[in-house]
Amino acid sequence: MSELAPVEDLMQQIADQYESLSKQLKVIAKYIEQHKATLMLKKISDIAAECDVQPSAIVRFAKRFDFSGYSEMQDVFRGAYAGTTGAAMPNYQQRIRSLIATHDRNLDVGDMTREFVHASRDGLDELAYGLDDAQLEAAVSMLQKAENIYVVGVRRAFPVASYIAYALQNTNKRVHLISGLGGMYRQQMRSVRERDVVIAISFAPYGMETQYCGRIGHHQRAKLLVITDSKLSPLAKIADALLTVTEGKAFAFRSLTSTICLCQALFIALAYRLELDIEETDEPGGYDE
């Protein structure tokens, strides 16, 4: 069993009960989803301030999921991440806070660039530690069997969508990038069928256009591969495969490094599987005579 299993079990419980939570508890749930790897460093007062709730609401949230209080819930995250994050994560937090505290001075471009590099590196570390192998296998298998692959992502997710569409066009799959040019999302999705796959890439605050296209694919019985930042994402419940990515953040800007890395890995894994299929077909006796 993975060291992260207790955390993932808790996050699944939170996702299952999310719709029944109060407005305050939903805010806390989203915060915990986004800060899993650093929750062991957070005081209850820090979380309360960042969620704009009272500390008692954090305790109430913990008790909702059968913990005696915040400290016991925090121990779950400490047990999963203490041996993997090392000193890098708290040092990063300290660096960011130091920069915020000294924001009145002129920041050197090199220093700013290094902060983005550090943020991206931390995001990649969290991606590696939090990978769900079963969901990755499901995603690649879906793409391998797909007759057509439709890719959609808007605004910040659009560069990722355009990249994975470009990469997938180097396979023998029929790939369609849903650009919505002229507002024609519905028209571009109208040919989606049961044996197709829709890749929906969406991050908070979750583009309505991507949600719309995902629902069309689901309604047409296509498989839905969702790449998002939270199991609480609106598309998570209808996903046939769900891959979550938490990006590093510096100066209030989130990186795309981890998401691009994940998409590259999906493409390479798919290309590898497809090449194996070709080799098996080319073996002697592979055709009826």
Task: Name which of 84, 59, 85, 62 is nearest 14 in CA terms.
Answer: 62
| pLDDT, averaged across the chain | 81
Name the pTM for this structure.
0.68
Beta strand 223-228 with 241-244 is parallel
Weakest-pLDDT range from 76-85, 87-96, 197-206, 252-261: 87-96
Task: Name which of 143, 165, 136, 141 is nearest 153 in CA terms.
Answer: 165
Please check whether residue 199 is in contact with residue 171, taking contact to mean a CB–CB distance below 8 angstroms: no
- Digit-coded pLDDT (tens) for 197-230: 999 998 887 888 988 999 999 998 999 999 988 8
Please check whether residue 144 is in contact with residue 230, taking contact to mean a CB–CB distance below 8 angstroms: no
Task: Name which of 47, 50, 225, 247 is nearest 130 in CA terms.
Answer: 247
For the chain, which domains are there?
5-85 (1.10.10.10), 133-281 (3.40.50.10490)
Q: Which two tokens stand for residue 95?
A: 């660096």
Question: Over 60: is that where the pLDDT of 110 sits?
Answer: yes
Question: Over 50: is that where the pLDDT of 288 sits?
Answer: no
Question: Over 70: is that where the pLDDT of 252 sits?
Answer: no
